[in-house]
Chains A and B, each alone.
Chain A
Amino acid sequence: EVQLVESGGGLVQPGGSLRLSCAASGFTFSYFWMTWVRQAPGKRLELVALMNRGGSEKYYVDSVKGRFTISRDNDKNSLYLQMSSLRAEDTAVYYCARGGAPGTTDFWGQGTLVTVSS
């Protein structure tokens, strides 16, 4: 059974940093592109970062470029999102999602809540 379990969310002050983790199991992690998607209160879903199988290709939505870094450790079956210079508008539930094929995500984790507030 495919499982994606996010962790690392919490309350952080504006300008602060946080590192999210996603533990994958039930599939060969290194075979799949992976993504981070966020859902802010009252806003539509936003795919913030995408990474290829080996980690050599990374894509970011403009709103997080230069502040967020996606990475992975295929030996540990884990995906990460390093977030810095956090802003109030980064407050959201962050989901780890598997890229099942080009142009899609097929399995999502349960999400971890990030709250940016003083």
Chain B
Amino acid sequence: GAVVSQHPSWVICKSGTSVKIECRSLDFQATTMFWYRQFPKQSLMLMATSNEGSKATYEQGVEKDKFLINHASLTLSTLTVTSAHPEDSSFYICSAPYRAGNSYEQYFGPGTRLTVT
């Protein structure tokens, strides 16, 4: 089946620094990927849609200058949290749609836990 990986799996950074998270589709191509964040004991909230070769589409309330998304190839999307603050600490998860029969299934990466100190 389809596999989506994320790197790193966890990261600790100091306030004011930037952190890059990678999302890769390992055995299929994905022109679109999705980035979510999940706070403890809460559901996933869509942050943005990453589009290969074009600008990302951000959900309402998500600062595009803070959460930079680059979809550089058909298998890689990156999320950069710029000037991170403690309130950015969260679990970040990506997904990519994979064709299964006549429909698509979203495959999720294992997530990246970001802690900003």
Chain B associates with chain A: no
- Which residues of A are in contact with B by a Cβ distance under 8 Å? none
